[in-house]
Amino acid sequence: MKGWQSGCLSRARRLWVFRGETAGGWAACRRALSSCNHYGQPPQIVQIPFLKRCKNQLKYHIFVSFVQARNTMLLTERHYSMSQTTVDPKEMKKFQLLAHKWWDEHGDYAALHSMNDIRVPFIRDTVLNMRNDHQPGSPLSGVKILDVGCGGGLLTEPLGRLGASVTGIDPLEDSIRTAELHKSFDPVLAERIQYKSCTLEDIVEEASDTFDVIVASEVVEHVADVEMFIRCCSKVLKPEGSLFITTINKSQLSYIFGIVVAERVLGIVPTGTHDWEKFIPPEELERLLESNGFLVKTVKGMLYNPLFGSWSWTESTNINYALHAVKSDIQEQVDPNLETDKEQLQTKTMASEPPAKTL
Ligand SMILES: C[S@@+](CC[C@H](N)C(=O)[O-])C[C@H]1O[C@@H](n2cnc3c(N)ncnc32)[C@H](O)[C@@H]1O
C-alpha cells in the first residue's frame, strides 16, 4: 500500500485504522482498502470519522476506520461534501442494498432489463448513422464506449455484444463485482468489456479525449453534482463524440408515476429508489450540456407500460426521456475560459490519483 500507513488501534474492538497522506483522496483510500485483506476477508465496511484538509487544499489526511464484523459500506456525507465528488452517499447506500440483484430479470431491476429493448437500438442506430463503416454482425466494432454508472452491467453487456469496446465504471464495488461475475459467463465479452470501481472524476485526467461514446443511463438523477458530471463527460469524450443520457423529468407526472405509482403502488422499483428533488427537466439538462460544449441532437420521451413490463418511445418527455448530444470539436478554440474551467475542475476533483490500469 504505497503512501499508506496502517495499524491496529484497538484489536479488542477490531478497529483498524488506515492513514493516507497522498493527494489521492477517496480513490486511493478505496484502492488501499480493497487491496488489503484482514481476518481472511476483504474489508466491507468503511467509516471515515475524520477528514482533514491540508494547507494547499489539494492534499488530504484521511483516517479510515474499518470494522470487520459488520457487512455494509458506510460513507460519511462529510467526506463527500469536502472532496466534492459527483457521488451522493445516500444514493450509494440504496444501491449497496441491491448490489447482488442486478441480473434478476423479474426483480427490482426488471424495468432496466426491459429498457434495453429501446435504449440499445437507440444507441446502436445513432452511432451507426454517424459513422460510415461498420462490420455486419459486429456493428459497433472499433467504437470505444464508457458506460458511467454501469451498475451490474445490464447495458454494458449488450453494447459489448454489438462489438464495442466498453469500459463500465461505477463507484460501488459490489456492483462491479456482480458485473464482473456475470461477464465471466460469456467468453465473447472477456476482451470487449472492462469494469472498474471508480467515479468519472477519478479518471478524468488520465482518460482525457478517450471515448467515442459515453452512456449514462438512469444515472444523472442519482448524482450529487450534475454539472460536474457533465463537465467530466465532456473531458473524457473525443471531439465529436456522442453522449447518451436517459433519465427522469422533474414534473408533476413524474412524481405521480415515477414515485407514487412505480414505488408505492405497483412496487416496480423499491420504495425510496428515487428522490424527486434530484430529477432534472430536459430543458435544464440541455442548457447544462450546451454550456459545456455539447450540441443536443435528440431528446425523446420514453414510456413504461407496467402491465406488459415494456418500454416504448413517445413524444412526451413528461416522465422518462432519452437524450443524445455531441461534443463540439471546436470547443477548445471558442471557449476562452477553458483554463479557468480546468483549474476549477481540478480543484473540485481534488487531484485524484490515477487508477492503476490505463483505460
Ligand atoms: C439506476 S442504476 C443504473 C445502472 C445502469 N446504468 C443501468 O441502466 O442498468 C444507477 C447507477 O448509477 C450509479 N451511480 C450513482 N452515482 C454515481 C456517480 N456519481 N457516478 C457514477 N455512477 C453513479 C449507481 O451506483 C448505480 O449503479
The answer to whether the CB of 112 is under 6 A from ligand 1 is yes
By most ligand atoms within 8 Å of CB, the mutation choice from 170, 215, 280 for ligand 1 is 170
Q: What's the chain's average pLDDT?
A: 77
Is the shortest distance between the CB of 202 and ligand 1 below 6 Å? no
More confident residue, 93 or 50: 93
Q: φ and ψ at 171, to 5 degrees?
A: -65, -20
The domains of the chain are located at: 4-83, 110-349
Cβ(244)–Cβ(216) below 8 Å? yes
The pLDDT assigned to 338 comes to 43
Does ligand 1 come within 6 angstroms of the Cβ of 172?
Answer: yes
**Band of the pLDDT at 329, cuts 50, 70, 90?**
confident
| DSSP strand pairing (193-197 vs 294-305) | unpaired
Give me the DSSP letters along 259-286.
IIIIIIIS-SS-TTS--GGG---HHHHH
**Contact assessment for residue 96 and residue 151, using Cβ atoms and an 8 Å cutoff:** no
102 CA distance to ligand 1 middle (Å) = 12
Beta partners for residue 20, in sequence order: 4, 62
| 34 band by pLDDT with thresholds 50, 70 and 90 | low
Largest distance between two CA atoms of the chain: 65
Q: What percent of the chain has pLDDT over 90?
A: 58
Cβ atoms of 280 and 226 closer than 8 Å: yes
Given a cut of 70, is residue 29 above it in pLDDT?
no
Which whole number is the average pLDDT over 176-188?
A: 97
Shortest CA distance to 243 belongs to which of 302, 300, 324, 328? 324
Pick the CATH number of 110-349 from 3.40.50.150, 1.25.40.420, 3.10.580.10, 3.90.1150.10: 3.40.50.150
Is 25 known as a binding-site position? Answer: no
* pLDDT the model gives residue 283: 97
Task: Kindly give the distance from the C-alpha atom of residue 34 to the centroid of ligand 1, in angstroms, as a whole number.
Answer: 20
129-172 per-position pLDDT tens digit: 998 777 778 999 999 999 999 999 999 999 999 999 999 999 99
CA 223–ligand 1 middle distance (angstroms): 8
Q: For the segment 65-83, what is each residue's pLDDT rounded down to a tens digit?
A: 343 333 223 333 333 333 4
pLDDT at res. 37: 41
Query: What integer pLDDT is reported at residue 31 of this predicted model?
Result: 53
Average pLDDT for residues 295-305, to the nearest whole number? 97
- The Å distance, Cα 221 to ligand 1 centre, comes to 9
pLDDT, position 30: 55
**b/e per residue 108-120 (b: at least 16 CB within 10 A):** bbebbbbbbebbb
- Range name among 17-26, 132-141, 221-230, 296-305 with the lowest pLDDT average: 17-26
**pLDDT one-digit tens code per residue, 272-288:** 888 898 999 999 999 99
pLDDT on residue 330: 66
For ligand 1, atom 10, name the residue with the nearest CA.
Answer: 219
State the closest ligand 1 atom to the C-alpha of 172, by its place in the atom list counted from 1. 25
Centroid of ligand 1 to alpha carbon of 219 (angstroms)? 5
Helix, strand, coil fractions of the chain, as percent rounded to 5: 35, 25, 40
Average pLDDT over every residue of 24-29: 49
β pairing state of 165-170 and 144-148 = parallel
> Hey, CA dihedral for 67, 73, 78, 82, is it positive or negative?
positive
Q: Residue 170 annotated as binding?
A: yes
Calculate how far, in angstroms, residue 310's C-alpha sits from the geometric centre of ligand 1: 21
Q: Is 175 in the pocket of ligand 1 (CB under 6 A)?
A: yes
**339 or 60: whose pLDDT is higher?**
339
Give me 85's grid cell: 465528488
246 lines ligand 1 (CB under 6 A): no
85: pLDDT strictly greater than 60? yes
Q: Is 352 in the pocket of ligand 1 (CB under 6 A)?
A: no
> CA angle, 216 as apex, 214 and 217 as ends, to 5°?
135
pLDDT of 27 reads: 54
Q: What integer pLDDT is reported at residue 220 of this predicted model?
A: 97
What mean pLDDT is predicted for residues 95-114?
A: 95
Percent of the chain with pLDDT over 70: 69
Q: Which atom of ligand 1 is nearest to the CA of 215?
A: 6
